[in-house]
């Protein structure tokens, strides 16, 4: 078992830096990590003078997705909603790899910037799973048509494509420059802008949607394809349906 703290929290002036820290598993989202992130985001109101929150990853990658051995859809849903509902502007500063649940995490942020060479993708279909929980948040960055293509193939893509798809705010990875732009706006106005443009206006609808998506994930995961896909992933072999 890893002795790593799942989340590193650092205050840097007006910025709160949250670093995913599951480096042994390429920052896969564990139950502990998601709980820590949700807890910090829920406590943002107690941070005086906070202007921006940055989510990044320790080590060589941003996030390789959800840890298939420990995660459950309800925890990821809570995290993504907490991030989307956060009154402070949020930035995902990604590098290396941003896959699966990591794409959902980035999509729930207001801004996404990436280091050169970063790879993105939704590889769930390759292990018999579907990116159901993250799809409402990804749809804020990409068109449904593009999501269909990327979800069905599970193919990875680079920063130029990510920018063209609307996923990245800019091709410039200078985090300080972006934070300086955010600081030029009035903080209370920014929080109201986020609320104004939020899709989470009907809590009953959100609860119903998330319940349906969680049930769908459970159904897929417990089905024959999901079981075969996860077994193949853990055994580092191609799944039975792969013709490669």
For every one of its 244 residues, what pLDDT tens digit does the chain have, with 9 covering 90 and above? 456 899 999 999 999 999 999 999 999 999 999 999 999 999 998 899 999 999 999 999 999 999 988 878 899 999 999 999 999 999 999 999 999 999 999 999 999 999 999 999 999 999 898 999 999 999 999 999 999 999 999 999 999 999 999 999 999 999 999 999 999 999 999 999 998 887 655 555 677 777 777 777 777 777 888 777 778 777 888 888 786 5
Flag whether 63 is in a domain.
yes
Environment class of residue 2 by beta-carbon count within 10 Å: exposed (0-12), middle (13-18) or buried (19+)? exposed
CA separation for the pair 121, 101 (Å, rounded) = 10
Flag whether 95 is in a domain.
yes
Flag whether 181 is in a domain.
no
Flag whether 193 is in a domain.
no
pLDDT of residue 218: 78
Q: What pairing do the DSSP bridges indicate for beta strands 97-99 and 119-121?
A: parallel
pLDDT of residue 231: 82
> For residue 127, which of 57, 76, 66 has the smallest C-alpha distance?
66
Flag whether 94 is in a domain.
yes
Flag whether 100 is in a domain.
yes
CA separation for the pair 138, 7 (Å, rounded) = 23
Per the CB < 8 A criterion, the answer to whether 107 and 187 are in contact is no
pLDDT of residue 68: 82
CATH number at residue 104: 3.90.226.10
Q: Tokens for 243?
A: 């013709």
Kindly state the DSSP code that residue 127 receives in the 8-state scheme.
G
Flag whether 185 is in a domain.
no
Q: What is the CA radius of gyration of the chain?
A: 17
Domain that holds residue 241: 1-173+200-244
Q: Give me the torsion for CA of 220, 226, 227, 230, rounded to 10°.
A: -130
pLDDT tens-place string over residues 154-173: 999 999 999 999 999 999 99
pLDDT of residue 1: 42
Per the CB < 8 A criterion, the answer to whether 108 and 137 are in contact is yes
Q: Is 92 helix (H, G, I), strand (E, B) or coil?
A: strand
pLDDT of residue 214: 76
B/e letters for 168-177, b = 16+ CB within 10 Å, e = fewer, are bbeeebebee
Phi, psi of 119 (to 5 degrees): -110, 135
Beta pairing partners, 17: 10, 54
> For residue 30, which of 92, 102, 103 has the smallest C-alpha distance?
102
Longest dimension (CA), the chain: 55
Number of domains in the chain: 1
pLDDT of residue 13: 94
Flag whether 184 is in a domain.
no
Q: Tokens for 109?
A: 């942020």
In Å, how far are 107, 110, 118, 169, 229 from 52, measured between CA atoms?
Answer: 16, 10, 23, 16, 39
């Amino acid at each position: 078992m890893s002795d790593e703290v799942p989340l590193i929290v650092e205050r840097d002036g007006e910025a709160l830096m949250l670093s995913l820290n599951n480096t042994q598993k390429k920052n896969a989202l564990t139950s502990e990590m998601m709980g820590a992130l949700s807890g910090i985001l829920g406590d943002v109101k107690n941070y005086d003078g906070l202007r921006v929150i940055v989510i990044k990853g320790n080590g060589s990658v941003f996030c390789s997705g959800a840890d298939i051995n420990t995660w459950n859809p309800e925890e990821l849903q809570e995290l993504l909603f907490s991030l989307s509902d956060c009154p402070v502007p949020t930035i995902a500063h990604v590098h290396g790899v941003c896959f699966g649940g990591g794409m959902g995490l980035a999509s729930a942020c207001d801004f996404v910037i990436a280091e050169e060479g970063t790879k993105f993708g939704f590889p769930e279909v390759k292990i018999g799973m579907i990116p159901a929980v993250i799809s409402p948040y990804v749809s804020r960055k990409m068109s449904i048509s593009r999501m269909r293509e990327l979800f069905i193939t599970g193919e990875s893509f680079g920063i130029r494509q990510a920018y063209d798809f609307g996923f990245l705010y800019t091709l410039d990875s200078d985090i300080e420059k972006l934070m300086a732009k955010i600081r030029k706006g009035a903080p209370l106005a920014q929080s109201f802008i986020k609320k104004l443009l939020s899709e989470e206006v009907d809590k009953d609808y959100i609860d119903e949607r998330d319940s349906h998506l969680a049930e769908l994930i459970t159904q897929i995961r417990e089905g024959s394809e999901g079981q075969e896909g996860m077994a193949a992933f853990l055994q580092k072999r191609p799944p039975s349906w792969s013709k490669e």
